[in-house]
Structure 1
Amino acid sequence: MNATPRKWNNETWPIAAAMIQYPNLLPDGRSVQDQSAEEWAATLADIVEAGFTELDPTDSWLRLADLTPSRLESFLALTRSLGLSIPAISTSRRSVIDAVHGDEYLAYGHRVIDTASAIGASAVSFGLFEPLTEAQKQVLWFWTVDGARNPDDPATWQKAVSRIRELGRHAEELGIELSLEMYEDTYLGTADSSVRFVDDVGLDNVGINADLGNLIRLHRPVEHWQQMMAKVAPYAKFWHVKNYTRMEDPASGVIMTHPAPLESGIINYRAAIRMALAHGFSSPFLCEHYGGDGVSVAATNRDYLRRILPR
Structure 2
Amino acid sequence: MPYTASDWPISAALLQFSNSLEDGRHVNEAGVEHWASVFAEVRDAGFDNVDLFDGWVRPGDLTARQIEDFRKTADDIGVGLPAISVVRRSVIDVEHGEDNLAYSHRTLDAAAALGAKVVSVGLHQALTEAQKRQLWFWTVDGYQDPYDRETWNRAVARLRELGQHAEDNGLILSLEMYEDTYLGTADSAVALVTAIDHPAVGLNPDIGNLVRLHRPIESWQAMIEKTAPYANYWHVKNYQRDEDVARDMYVAMPAPLESGLISYRKAFEIAIANGFQGVICCEHYGGDGLSVSASNQRYLREQILPRTADYTPGKSRVRQN
User: Do they fold alike, i.e. is TM over 0.5?
Assistant: yes
For the pair 1:21 / 2:16, whether they are aligned, the reply is yes
- AA partner of residue 52 (structure 1): F
Please give the alpha-carbon distance, in whole angstroms, between the structure 2 residues aligned to 1:50 and 1:148.
35
C-alpha displacement at 1:45, in angstroms? 2.6
Cα distance per residue 1:126-172 (max 9 Å; x no partner): 00000100000001000000001111111000000000000111112
Percent identity reads 55
Alignment of 1:172-187 (within 5 A): 172-187=167-182
Please give the alpha-carbon distance, in whole angstroms, between the structure 2 residues aligned to 1:59 and 1:35.
14
For the pair 1:134 / 2:129, whether they are aligned, the reply is yes
- AA partner of residue 281 (structure 1): F
- AA partner of residue 143 (structure 1): W
Please give the alpha-carbon distance, in whole angstroms, between the structure 2 residues aligned to 1:190 and 1:108.
26
Secondary structure class of the residue paired with 1:306 = helix
Contact 1:46 / 1:295 at 8 angstroms: preserved in 2?
no
Cα distance per residue 1:20-79 (max 9 Å; x no partner): 111212343111111021122222232111011100121110012211111111111111
Please give the alpha-carbon distance, in whole angstroms, between the structure 2 residues aligned to 1:39 and 1:115.
19
Alignment of 1:111-190 (within 5 A): 111-190=106-185
Secondary structure class of the residue paired with 2:181 = coil
Secondary structure class of the residue paired with 1:60 = coil
- Which residue is 1:43 aligned to? 38
Selected match of 2:57 from 51, 62, 69? 62
- AA partner of residue 269 (structure 2): R
C-alpha displacement at 1:289, in angstroms? 0.3
Selected match of 2:3 from 3, 8, 13? 8
- AA partner of residue 310 (structure 1): P
Cα distance per residue 1:181-237 (max 9 Å; x no partner): 000000000000000000000011211100000000000000000011110010011
Secondary structure class of the residue paired with 1:22 = coil
Q: Which consecutive unaligned segments of at least 5 residues does structure 2 have?
A: 308-321
Q: After the TM superposition, which parts of structure 1 deviate over 6 Å for at least 4 consecutive aligned residues?
A: none
TM-score (norm 1): 0.96
- Which residue is 2:204 aligned to? 209
Secondary structure class of the residue paired with 1:55 = strand
Secondary structure class of the residue paired with 2:199 = coil
- Which residue is 2:241 aligned to? 246
- AA partner of residue 42 (structure 2): I
For the pair 1:287 / 2:272, whether they are aligned, the reply is no
For the pair 1:101 / 2:96, whether they are aligned, the reply is yes
Contact 2:67 / 2:113 at 8 angstroms: preserved in 1?
no
Contact 2:177 / 2:207 at 8 angstroms: preserved in 1?
yes
- Which residue is 2:305 aligned to? 309
Please give the alpha-carbon distance, in whole angstroms, between the structure 2 residues aligned to 1:269 and 1:298.
14
Q: Which consecutive unaligned segments of at least 5 residues does structure 1 have?
A: 1-5
Secondary structure class of the residue paired with 2:78 = coil
TM-score (norm 2): 0.93
- AA partner of residue 253 (structure 2): H
